Amino acid sequence: MGPWPVRRFARSLAEALRLPRTAARIVDVLSASSRHLSVREIVKRVRMSERSVRGNLALLLRRGLLEREAVPTGRRLAYAYQLRPVDDLLRTVRAQFEHSLGKLRLTARRVSPRSASSGRS
């Protein structure tokens, strides 16, 4: 898959998961890169503060969308980030949607036990 379909997929992914604007920009930047990017590189490309980028990277890691690689620097350890492979992203999104659907079903049962158990979907 070339860069444009991947970027289009990344934008659809960010939209489907209702990611914050900065997180969506990070996904877009990473989808255009063929390698892991450092926080500094991501900050430069998305033109947002380092604090905002780091917070959104943490969110994307928790959501299972990124790979993180330790990169030794002269003085300390740093991290570089890349989007996970498309198949992994699809599995992650599916799991998140299934989790949300399960929570919604539980809420529906509490609201109306009779209509939630009718078997309609």
Dump pLDDT digits (tens) for 26-65.
Answer: 999 999 998 999 999 999 999 999 999 999 999 999 999 9
pLDDT per residue over 1-19, tens digit each? 445 677 788 888 888 888 9
For the chain, the maximum distance between any two Cα atoms, rounded to a whole number of angstroms, is 64
Q: Which residue blocks in 32-72 are alpha helix, DSSP H?
A: 39-46, 50-62
Place of tokens 């350890």: 77
Domain edges within the chain? 3-113
Distances in Å between the alpha carbon of 11 and those of 41, 93, 117? 20, 13, 36
Class of domain 3-113 (CATH, top level) = mainly alpha
Question: Average of pLDDT values for 107-119?
Answer: 69
Place of tokens 């599995």: 91
pTM for the predicted model, two decimal places: 0.78
